[in-house]
Amino acid sequence: MTTRLYNAKILSMIDNQDIFDGEIQVTDNKITYIGNYADDSKSVGSKASSFDKEIDCEGNVLLPGFKNAHTHSGMTAFRSLADDLNLQDWLNNEIFPREAKMTAEDVYWLTKLAYLEYLTSGITACADMYLTPESIFDASEEFGMRCQMVSGLNKFGPTLEVLERRYNELNGKSDLVGFLMGVHAEYTCDKELLESVSELIHKYKAPLYTHMSETKTEHEECIKRYGMTPMALFDSLGLWDFGGGIYHGVWCDDADMEIMKKRGLRIITNPASNAKLASGIAPISKYLEKGIEVAIGTDGPSSNNCLDFFREMFLVTALAKIKDNDPKAVDAMEVLKMACVNGAHAMELVDNDALAVGKLADIIMIDLYQPNMRPILNISKNIVYSGSKTNIKMTMINGKILFKDGRFSDTIDVDAIYNKCEEITKRLR
């Protein structure tokens, strides 16, 4: 399958490369040409070449898809069900009891519902920490979503043996789906379990991912238990020896950040969820000052409740400006880098962080022919400060167009997803 996307403005997200007019050619799932045909003698063909599909982008913008570097997709079941609570009440009294009733098939359908929303928001990959990875694998493969599943191991399950089996069986099985080592959080794991996980990641030299320092209470209770912060505890156990990342990091202190820098950890910030749960505002400027790579996640559709990456991008910069009392804090281009490039790195994806020959064809098109994108003075700033889901004109994943001009691909049975998810949520409520 060959596709030509021409008459476009291209925002490659390659360092120091400005937006330029040109086209992108895709063969199967990879970019085989990017540039301006008229001026490029090294192009792979001629304008007369035949393609299976040619799309006139009409001057709209092509850029790498957004990477949702932390989510719990199957929590679509609980959207607007348990709102206006703090994190611990929300989890322990509302979410955990209902999750105990969920089946693998439930997670399969509820994940697909979230994927529909991802497409409309320009999200081409997600890092999904949720129940029953095997059914998430099936949902991702069938739907066509790029997904890095993340283990949410905790003292309630699964076993270490199951974690190891999943790591071996679910990696290398698909060019769309992978599996990363992870634990849910310090407060849901005892020290003995964390020590065992450390042995496992050393066996495979694997990076580790976890929720960490999301709330002040969580952070301080760990200090009371162990005499050190969650970050320092994990470091003392060797859990960061092969890198990885933390979700939230709202209450990390300077010493925590020094550990992160030393170990090459990434921070995945979730501004909407942290604001809605009143967990706090992450110190994004401090992370950037220390050279720590920042990515962005939506968190789950129950704590958020909207899987909208434009809202997340705006909140990253707006909340940083409020926290620092500085309107210059975290500029728009830095936020776009978090959304496209850093998110790929945080998910251990190396081939879809930018638009370049040989990279995976995970591409989105931003519609400039809407009032919120005019006048065209600075496209990058417009995307972050003015953009919305209505500006997503096309979402391509792995060379396949799954959403275009407000319509999902014919390969996706939208009605079946809606109907099945309504049945599931009625039972779970």
Beta strands in 129-188, from DSSP E residues, in sequence order: 146-150, 177-185
DSSP code, position 17: P
Q: Are 211 and 184 in contact (CB under 8 A)?
A: yes
User: CA-CA distance, 181 to 186, in Å (whole number)?
Assistant: 15
Question: pLDDT of 246-285, one tens digit each?
Answer: 999 999 999 999 999 999 999 999 999 999 999 999 999 9
DSSP code, position 254: H
Position 48 scores a pLDDT of: 45
Domain locations in the chain?
1-429
Q: Are 340 and 66 in contact (CB under 8 A)?
A: yes
Which top CATH class is 1-429? alpha beta
Provide φ and ψ at 10, rounded to 5°: -115, 120
pTM above 0.75, yes or no: yes
DSSP code, position 210: E
Helix (H, G, I), strand (E, B) or coil at 294: strand
Whether residue 99 is predicted with pLDDT greater than 60 in this model: the reply is yes
Query: Please, what sign has the CA dihedral across residues 11, 17, 21, 22?
Result: negative
Average pLDDT of the residues of the chain: 96
Q: Is the peptide bond before 305 cis (omega within 30 degrees of 0)?
A: yes
Question: pLDDT of 1-22, one tens digit each?
Answer: 999 999 999 999 999 899 999 9
Q: Are 312 and 390 in contact (CB under 8 A)?
A: no
User: CA-CA distance, 79 to 57, in Å (whole number)?
Assistant: 35
Choose among 343, 313, 332: nearest CA to 380.
Answer: 332
